[in-house]
Structure 1
């Protein structure tokens, strides 16, 4: 089991895509999620990808099929202290089950392929990230789509080497989230504001740290 992708909610027409572009990151693709009420922009690395997600249709996000995900509330995280973060895992299955209780989310926007995603029950707590099983089975460097295979080669960045989930000082990580940290799938820390810090491997061996949502690179 390994990291497949991460998402963080931004405001519609928020500054984050422009900030990432100014740092040298290239958008690889964007998608709409009809029926779920969200859209995204994705930045692909060899082993995983980053998704900037925003709310497009609140009525769809609050529909009975989607409501338990609480995406509409997570999108308003600056107002309600919800976690804007999502962590998707791939490589799970009968031999490697997800290490927590889940519920089945029937995605309204996938006409083909896997339509049921297991979502962690502990993520019902809005203060915790939304953790779920990925609909994809392959690393991005094994995807067949040539357009997506370009990834972040212009910056010489290859992989996401580490994901650090930063929780507010007032929020303790759920036991299940701590289990993912114990298994080496992510790192946990606390701070005055929530977010994620990605450690990125560059081709020359250097490590870069990208912090979100402020979009700083060092």
Structure 2
């Protein structure tokens, strides 16, 4: 099991994207999620991608189908308790299953044969989920290929570190994720994700706050 992508909840479709482009990242194609009430903007690397997720329809996001995902709570994040992140995993070997207990979410925008496996965890942690059908961006078929050659030369996301102000013991999915190479979740002062690009070889950093709860080191 390995990280496929991370999502960051934003308040509108422009928030954060301009800052990523200003840093020299090429933007991929956006997606709309019919029935889920969300849409995104995406920035791809060879091995992963960043998804900026925003709310488009409150009633869809609070529907009987979507409500258990707690996406609406994350996207509104009115009280500061909900973590505005999701960590998506994919198989690292053929046929690999998620290493934490899951329930099946079958959004209407996916073909009937596909599902999202969601871990059970408090909303103060990221949404933990697994896509059995996901592939590295640099392994996508040409008809679904996304740009991952960036003007600034970024290539791979080499580590992800998430902090949460929740002081409670971590959930089973969080503890399982903490066993994976290149990922860590810790207790901290705020909801924050720190991405390391290309092993931080250049020793440079950029803090996207307050626009995005993210720091990028490369």
TM-score by length of 1: 0.86
Contact 1:167–1:193 under 8 Å retained in 2: yes
> In 1, Cα distance between the equivalents of 2:132 and 2:58?
23
Contact 2:30–2:41 under 8 Å retained in 1: yes
- 1:117 shift after superposition: 1.1
SS of 2:60's equivalent in the other structure is helix
Aligned to 1:129: 126
CA-to-aligned-CA distance 1:63-86 (integer Å, 9 cap, x gap): 111110011111012434101110
User: Which of the pair is proportionally richer in strand?
Assistant: 1
Aligned to 1:119: 118
- 1:135 shift after superposition: 5.4
For structure 2, list consecutive stretches of 5 or more residues without a partner in the other structure: none
Aligned to 1:43: 43
Aligned to 1:145: 142
> In 1, Cα distance between the equivalents of 2:70 and 2:177?
22
Q: Which moved further from structure 2: 27-36 or 146-155?
A: 146-155
Contact 1:200–1:209 under 8 Å retained in 2: no
User: Which of the pair is proportionally richer in helix?
Assistant: 1
The 3 A distance-change label for structure 1 pair 2 and 215 is: closer
- 1:114 shift after superposition: 4.7
The 3 A distance-change label for structure 1 pair 62 and 118 is: same
The 3 A distance-change label for structure 1 pair 159 and 17 is: same
> In 2, Cα distance between the equivalents of 1:48 and 1:147?
14
Q: 1:158 aligns with which of 155, 158, 167?
A: 155
- 1:216 shift after superposition: 4.9
For structure 1, list consecutive stretches of 5 or more residues without a partner in the other structure: none
TM-score by length of 2: 0.86
- 1:137 shift after superposition: 2.9
Provide the alpha-carbon RMSD of the alignment: 2.6
SS of 1:163's equivalent in the other structure is strand
- 1:144 shift after superposition: 1.8
The 3 A distance-change label for structure 1 pair 54 and 190 is: same
Q: Which moved further from structure 2: 139-148 or 188-197?
A: 139-148
> In 2, Cα distance between the equivalents of 1:211 and 1:136?
33
CA-to-aligned-CA distance 1:103-133 (integer Å, 9 cap, x gap): 11011112x37531110022xx111111111
SS of 1:189's equivalent in the other structure is strand
> In 2, Cα distance between the equivalents of 1:94 and 1:101?
19
Deviating 4+ runs (over 4 angstroms):
92-95, 207-212, 214-218
Contact 2:40–2:51 under 8 Å retained in 1: yes
Q: Does 1:106 align with 2:102?
A: no
> In 1, Cα distance between the equivalents of 2:152 and 2:10?
23
Q: Which moved further from structure 2: 29-38 or 113-122?
A: 113-122
Q: Which moved further from structure 2: 37-46 or 86-95?
A: 86-95
- 1:12 shift after superposition: 1.2
Contact 1:65–1:108 under 8 Å retained in 2: no
Q: Does 1:184 align with 2:181?
A: yes
